[in-house]
Amino acid sequence: MRPLLIALLAGAALGCARVEIPEVPPGAPVSYAQHLEPVVVARCIACHTRDEPEAELVLEIGVGYGEMVGRASTQVPALAIVAPGDPGGSYLWRKLTHDVEIGRGMPRTVVGSIRLPENELELYRRWIEGGALP
């Protein structure tokens, strides 16, 4: 195998693969399908598939939105996974910022759970704050 391919595969396995973050102009609405879904699929799909979804959460294309928005967390049923307009009240945001008492912060990788780069977290935050639009 070529060194570049090996490096890319190793990066993906470690969860530190580069993910393209879409540019959304300041003040413009963030859409799940248009902006966030490709990022979610790139990072999260390994463990949140239909076949064996961890924590009963399926994040495959076309399904993730309905699985998260307004639906209760299985770990902390008092919280919605995504509460539109309220990152602090969204279990997803707590998992992504590693502010959790059950399980680990997301995403998990083979080297443990990692914190996403700031620009990626920012996209999630803007999406939730902006009303978690489809």
Judged by the rule CB under 6 A, the positions of this chain that interact with ligand HEC are 40, 43-44, 46-48, 54-55, 57, 73-75, 81, 91-92, 95, 103-104, 106-108
Sign of the dihedral through C-alpha 118, 98, 15, 54: negative
Closest to 92 measured CA to CA, from 69, 108, 111, 61: 69
To ligand HEC, the closest distance from the beta carbon of 4 in angstroms equals 23
Closest to 43 measured CA to CA, from 13, 74, 85: 13
Distance CA 12, CA 71 (A): 29
To ligand HEC, the closest distance from the beta carbon of 23 in angstroms equals 20
Nearer to ligand HEC, 26 or 123 (CB): 123
Residue 12: Cβ within 10 Å count: 14
To ligand HEC, the closest distance from the beta carbon of 7 in angstroms equals 20
Cis peptide before 77, with omega less than 30 degrees from 0?
no
To ligand HEC, the closest distance from the beta carbon of 6 in angstroms equals 21
Q: Which residue is nearest to ligand HEC (CB)?
A: 103
Nearer to ligand HEC, 35 or 48 (CB): 48
